Amino acid sequence: MLTLACKTWAHPVPAGLKLSALCAVTMLLFVLTSPFALSIAGLFVVGLLLSCGMDFTRQSLLGLRPLWPFVLIVAVWHDPNWQSIILRMICAVALANFVTMTTRLSDMITTFETLARPLSRILPPQRLALAIALMIRFIPVLLHHADQINAAWRARSPRRPRWRILVPLALAALDDSDRVAEAIRARGGIH
């Protein structure tokens, strides 16, 4: 999910601080093993989302929809820790959504450039930051394309699409990346 137009208390918090907190809390989620402790963490995440308002919470929870196939796979897999795995995954993705929804992409790019400076001899920080930002930006775009292709398939066929949407989805992603590359070149590119 991308940044929302409505402002919350979390929007002015610096991107570096939010990303650092996200890393620390995600590591803590992997330390927690009991479903009870992870449920408490889940309640904390829900409280965090609710502190930004109901519209924000609704949009953030909609951003968790793509997780349902993974939740189903983990639940069917019958891993002895399946509840912990699912709770950990939902909490981590919800927190990542919180960070992306409350942080401007330009602020994230600046933070990534700062973090990538030690790698400047190998890879220019601006290019790495742009690549990460584009990856973050295009996740919801690809999910939207997948929904459109699924809907088009269902309108034409009673069978489930399954793997058949992969080629049109890959072509849509390539088309989008080509248009973005042209736009970057037209604006002088990244040096």
Alpha-carbon span 131 to 137, nearest angstrom: 10
pLDDT at 3: 58
Q: Band of the pLDDT at 2, cuts 50, 70, 90?
A: low
DSSP designation for 33: -
Q: Quick one: pLDDT at residue 121?
A: 84
* Tens-place pLDDT, residues 68-87: 888 888 888 767 788 888 99
Which H or E run includes 120? none
pLDDT tens, residue by residue, 19-30: 999 999 999 999
The tens digit of pLDDT for each residue in 29-71 reads 999 989 999 999 999 999 999 999 898 899 888 888 878 888 8
CB-based burial, 140-161: b 16+ in 10 Å, e otherwise = eeeeebbeebeeebeeeeeeeb
